[in-house]
Amino acid sequence: MTGTLAALGAGLAVIGAGIGIGNIGAKAMDAIARQPEAAGEIRSNMILMAALVEGAALIAIILSIFVK
Amino acid sequence: MRKILLSLAVLWSMSLGVFAQDHHDHQEHATESHEHAQEAGEHADEHAQHTCGCDEAHEAEYDAGATAFHHISDANAFHLFGELYLPLPCILYAPDHGLSVFLSSKFHIGHHGTGEKAVDGYVLNHGEVMRVSTPDFPKEEVEIDCILAHKGDDGHDHYEVVYQGNCFPLDKKTTFDGGLMGGGVTSYYDLSITKNVFTMMLVFVLLFWLFRAVAKGYQKREGMAPKGVQSFMEPVFVFIRDEVAIPFLGPKYEKYLPYLMSIFFFILGLNLIGQIPFFPGSGNVTGNLAVTMTLALFTFVVTTLNGKKDYWMHIFWMPGVPAWIKVILTPVEILGMFIKPLTLMLRLFANITAGHIVIIIFVSLIFIFGNAGESIGGSSLGGAMAVPLTLFMMSIELLVAFIQAFVFCILSASYIGAAIEEHHEHH
């Protein structure tokens, strides 16, 4: 039972991270379309932000693996 | 188009051949494991060492999860193909027995990396060295019958070795995870050159050779255009310097550039060598928590040792906010100091491990649809699904290998950059 709950929790965390990274990607594409000359800088910042959002989801996933 | 289809068909038939062999091993293993429930009854009136045999056959179903974990874990012997293993040196220390140093070929590695012999009270179970801690087990080289596995009450696997009709419980190697992953301090320490250590050494040598060639090239052609491997490495090097080091670290970037470059190329090398599914690749090094923890620890130490006055003031007494907020903010900032390297460690580990697990699960489709080798039609269907899915996943993983090396590097740079910043114009 706790295993199922942990799996559900991991799923919820991934939904949150998915929305967050989706937003980052959409806004970055927007910004690149507006200012193509800043594409390089925007891209590396996009990856940095995506990595930070991902970190929160990963903590949840790891916790859900270890909670038995 | 025809070429692509042809190569897909060849890959598919190859995978069927290879995994048919693999499956054979799995069934063998399945018959060796037996139910815990049955044993619990015997446990009640006998002590730990009791009479048991290897012939209690139980048809276990194909377990994709267990297969995945077996394939991503570290091992004391390097699997080449079939039943051929590259022996690696075992350096084992038990406080009550002393140091044992030998090659893992001494175990007579057989099916699935399980040794047929016990050496110095150690056995090889699925490529992993384990120790018989009871004193009445012979300490010299002896033939063992088999190794049994069963699920304990705590949800972790427990192993027993069968020797001359008697069962002896096995200890796993000492880990310092504090029981988080089912480890802890046991009766021995494993300091061996394992598959992961071997892969790391290989990457050291490769990187040294590569960068030595590049450095020699710059010496020889000073002031001239780069040539050969030089022109391959220069854009990558310049990219990390101009996009990561300079924007995050400011004018004093040169002091930290060697660290950032080492960490980037080391992680990239390990990620890429882990993508190769056969020798000398297949070592899942960056998908090992201990390795990523050490890498994250380096960043933590560099950040903490180089932290300037402003950095510590922002942690302990944030300027420009009311006093009652500072009371809440200070514990959060102190926690943040440790959460930063923690996420660094988990991000790399989880991305690489997840990629490998997904690939193994896709390959497992062959056995799941083929009902563990009973149905050729099902296996073929599973294979037809597994090949394109695995190819897709491998190309994604190739991308992830670069992105994660870059992310580790850029985050390290931003943490170090935040620590060495001298003054802030904005609060």
Domain limits, chain B:
2-192, 198-420
Chain B contacts of A41, Cβ < 8 Å?
A: 243, 247
The answer, yes or no, to whether ipTM is higher than 0.90 is no
Check: CB of residue B167 under 8 Å from CB of residue B158.
Answer: no
Higher pLDDT, B36 or B214: B214
Q: Which of A40, A52, A62 sits opposite B346 (nearest CB)?
A: A62
Chain B nearest C-alpha distance from A51 (Å) = 7
Name which of B423, B425, B426, B427 is nearest B309 in CA terms: B423
Q: Which two tokens stand for residue B342?
A: 């923690």
Distance CA B388, CA B119 (A): 44
Chain B contacts of A60, Cβ < 8 Å?
A: none
User: What 3-state DSSP class applies to B76?
Assistant: coil
**Residue A51 pLDDT class (50, 70, 90 cuts):** confident
> What does DSSP say about strands B166-171 and B157-163: parallel, antiparallel, or unpaired?
antiparallel
Instruction: Name which of B343, B400, B403 to mutate to probe chain A: the one with the most chain A Cβ atoms within 10 A of its Cβ.
Output: B343
A4 dihedral zone (left: phi>0; alpha: psi -120 to 50; beta): alpha
pLDDT > 50? residue B24:
no
**What are the residue ranges of helices labelled H in B108-194?**
none
pTM of the model: 0.81
Q: Which two tokens stand for residue B46?
A: 């006998």
Name which of B163, B155, B167, B102 is nearest B129 in CA terms: B102
B407–A58 C-beta distance less than 8 A:
no
Instruction: Name which of A62, A65, A66 to mutate to probe chain B: the one with the most chain B Cβ atoms within 10 A of its Cβ.
Output: A62
* Nearest residue in chain A measured CA to CA from B247: A41
Q: Does A25 touch chain B if contact means CB atoms closer than 8 Å?
A: no
Q: Does B243 touch chain A if contact means CB atoms closer than 8 Å?
A: yes
Q: Which helix or strand (DSSP H or E) is residue B143 part of?
A: strand B142-143
Q: What is the pLDDT of residues B125-169, one digit of tens each?
A: 888 888 887 777 777 777 877 777 777 666 667 788 887 777 888
A58–B410 C-beta distance less than 8 A:
no
Name which of B406, B22, B50 is nearest B244 in CA terms: B406
B168: which strand partners?
B161
Number of helices and strands (H, E) in chain A? 2, 0
Q: Which two tokens stand for residue A6?
A: 């942990």
The string of DSSP letters for B171-193 reads EPPP--STTTTS----S-EE---
**Residue B176 pLDDT class (50, 70, 90 cuts):** confident
CA angle, B91 then B78 then B83, to 5°: 120
Instruction: For the beta carbon of residue B367, count every other beta carbon within 10 angstroms.
Output: 25
